[in-house]
A and B are shown apart, each in its own frame.
Chain A
Amino acid sequence: MAQDRSFSSFLGIGLPAALIMVGLLAALISLPLYVGQSWVSITTEMLIMSLAACALNIMLGYTGLVSFGPAGLYAVGAYTTAIFLQKLGLSIAPSMLAAPVLAGLIGAIVGWICVRRTAVYFALLTLAFSQIIWTVIFEWYAVTGGDDGLTSLPIPDFFFNISNCYYFTLFVVGVCTFIIWKIINSPFGQTLKAIRENRNRVEFIGVNTKRYQLGAFVLSSLFLGISGSLYCVFSGSVFPNFAYWVKSADMLVICLLGGVYNFSGPLVGTLIYTLLTKIIADYTTHWHLFLGGIIIFIILVMRNGVVGTLADLWARKKQKQL
């Protein structure tokens, strides 16, 4: 028990949450033992998506910056790995490591311009930049393969085995999520939350809020780059639609579905979103109609997302007991 407590204090979470996490991790690690390959593959995809959503949520939930263009930086990560592998003939390790570096760099440039503006303008700017990235990918045929994308990438044989790919993804996503968690709970993360709550007040006490917002932007870009790179390795090909606004919208909806004010929101959101799309797509080809309906329902009825609403219910129940 004592060990458990120190473990949970190391993570900075309560004991029940720590137990849930250990259980989840155990379930994820043993997953390939009891489900078929197709589900292992779906889970790998979910893990990658949840990392992207978590990265987006650094901006969305913790800094209060609504970005419409996360897919642009996700695509930068994916294309970096693909181009390094295929066009430059580098091995897998430098190709994957270059992804967050380049995504972070481009994120820094884009972010530097974007954080100059707030609210609507910030959202529009991020949308514009992701569309520029999409256009570059679409038109720069010699390097990016244009409309056709880059296919049959020289991915090492190791990743062709789905369980290897799964464990690799689980490891990277696990480590990244842990790092994001630590950052969010550091003084830096607390300052971001303070900026979200009241930017003016934080500025009054002498904090350079723009620098913090830029920091959040770069961090978010970096992790988006990693998730893009993972997806490139997982699927063995990259396409321009990775950068398209639809992908950004998917990520936003995932965050919203789970709830943006909880760390686990994007993770739960990914799970619900993936399962919903799989289930609805089985019944009807018009699943966008249902997705739209579900989003409207969530916004009108349970604005804090699934995790947020459950947390509220939990808190209310506790209050009643007292």
Chain B
Amino acid sequence: MTFEALAGQTISGISLGMVWFLIAVGLSIIFGTLKVLNLAHGSLYMLGSYTCYQVTTSLAPLAGNFWLAVLLAPLVVALVGGLIEVFLLRPIYKAEMLYQYILTFALVLIIAEVCKIIWGAGYHSISVPWPFKGSVRLFGLTFPQYNLFLIVMGAVVFMGLRLLINHTSLGRIIRAVTHNREMANALGVNVPWVYTGVFMLGSWLAGLAGCLWPPMSAVTLGSDMAVVIDCFIIVVIGGLGSLSGAFLGAIILGLTTAYGVLFVPKLAVAFGFILMVIILIIRPWGLLGEPE
């Protein structure tokens, strides 16, 4: 085990964590505000990555085609999210949890099948975009530029969301609705629109992650459920509904996965789950969450 390999895994673990953060934070905010656990959140990520692939290949001769896709694809996903919230989730907020789960599960089936019909069952790849193709030397070690870009991106989104939620009037409204829906409603907040907005924001973030991660892996079917289960682990570790919790949880899971692959590759998949179970037993509300 060389120091270099360890450093490399650390960087790739954190950058993976940053992408997970983008998805998990949406899941977490949506749960905090709407009280709906969105099983289809991974599907929104997957939809984002297919849309990004489509835009990137359609605009292939154009320079910066990937970055145009990064602008466009998350908006498409946010729009789809908005439609889902208005037409499907709104009628069932008062219903039992079971029905909300199963409804979002039905969306998982539908989105996966639609992606399969449009883009086929095979793998698609998006190449690492200009200007991050190379690598950087830092402290005598070499790191891929794109990984560093992902880390910066995750940190920027984290700071941006903190600013939005804690220091703007819009954020205050979101916090008010999260805290007490009836009271906020009585004080004149248009709760349904806040719900739609929050769901669209979460979808937009999932779509963004869907654009940013494929250059490191691939666009495939099945990424929806893999991603959403990882995000469940993250929000449980960090605390459901907590912004900083999602950030911390994502980094922890990213590093656990990266080191797990290095040391005990066979059990790497189970590490996250074991971590989650331990946290649920000793601190059920998550590291940065609040007790019920």
Using CB atoms and an 8 Å cutoff, list the residues of chain A in contact with chain B.
60, 66, 68, 113, 116-117, 119-121, 123-125, 127-129, 131-132, 135-136, 138-139, 245, 249, 252-253, 256, 260, 286, 288-289, 291-293, 295-296, 299-300, 303
Tell whether B97 is near chain A: CB-to-CB under 8 Å: yes
10 contacts between A and B (CB under 8 A): A123-B101, A124-B236, A128-B273, A131-B229, A132-B277, A288-B110, A296-B103, A296-B107, A299-B92, A303-B95
Tell whether B151 is near chain A: CB-to-CB under 8 Å: no
How many A-B pairs have beta carbons closer than 8 Å: the answer is 108
Tell whether B37 is near chain A: CB-to-CB under 8 Å: yes
**In the complex, which of the residues A117, A135, A288 contacts B269, with contact meaning CB atoms closer than 8 Å?**
A135
B116 with A121: CB separation less than 8 A: no
Q: What's the nearest-Cβ distance from chain B to residue A290, in Å?
A: 9
Contacts of A60 in B (CB 8 A): 98
B102 with A135: CB separation less than 8 A: no
Residue of A nearest to B103 (CB): A299
Q: What's the nearest-Cβ distance from chain B to residue A78, in Å?
A: 20
0/1 per residue, B98-135, Cβ < 8 Å to A? Answer: 11011101111110111011000000000000000000
Contacts of B273 in A (CB 8 A): 128, 131-132, 135
A260 with B98: CB separation less than 8 A: yes
Q: What's the nearest-Cβ distance from chain A to residue B60, in Å?
A: 29
**In the complex, which of the residues A121, A295, A299, A303 contacts B280, with contact meaning CB atoms closer than 8 Å?**
A121
**In the complex, which of the residues A121, A129, A131, A252 contacts B105, with contact meaning CB atoms closer than 8 Å?**
A252
Residue of A nearest to B277 (CB): A128
**In the complex, which of the residues A132, A139, A245, A256 contacts B225, with contact meaning CB atoms closer than 8 Å?**
A245
Q: What's the nearest-Cβ distance from chain B to residue A305, in Å?
A: 11
Tell whether B276 is near chain A: CB-to-CB under 8 Å: yes
Sorted nearest first, the 9 A-B pairs with minimum C-beta distance are A292-B110, A295-B106, A292-B109, A289-B113, A292-B106, A288-B113, A288-B109, A135-B270, A299-B103
Instruction: Name the interface size band of chain B.
Output: 35 or more
* Bound CA–CA A113/B278 (angstroms): 10
Residue of A nearest to B109 (CB): A292
Contacts of B232 in A (CB 8 A): 124, 127-128
Q: What's the nearest-Cβ distance from chain B to residue A257, in Å?
A: 10
* Bound CA–CA A117/B240 (angstroms): 14
**In the complex, which of the residues A113, A119, A252, A292 contacts B277, with contact meaning CB atoms closer than 8 Å?**
A113
Q: What's the nearest-Cβ distance from chain B to residue A115, in Å?
A: 12
Given contacts A127-B229, A128-B273, A288-B112, contact A295 B97 (CB under 8 A): no
Contacts of A68 in B (CB 8 A): 101
Q: What's the nearest-Cβ distance from chain A to residue B266, in Å?
A: 5
Q: What's the nearest-Cβ distance from chain A to residue B55, in Å?
A: 24
B270 with A299: CB separation less than 8 A: no
Tell whether B284 is near chain A: CB-to-CB under 8 Å: yes
Q: What's the nearest-Cβ distance from chain B to residue A150, in Å?
A: 19
Contacts of A260 in B (CB 8 A): 98
Q: What's the nearest-Cβ distance from chain B to residue A122, in Å?
A: 10
B106 with A117: CB separation less than 8 A: no
Residue of B nearest to A125 (CB): B280
* Bound CA–CA A252/B269 (angstroms): 25
Given contacts A120-B97, A289-B113, A289-B114, contact A253 B107 (CB under 8 A): no
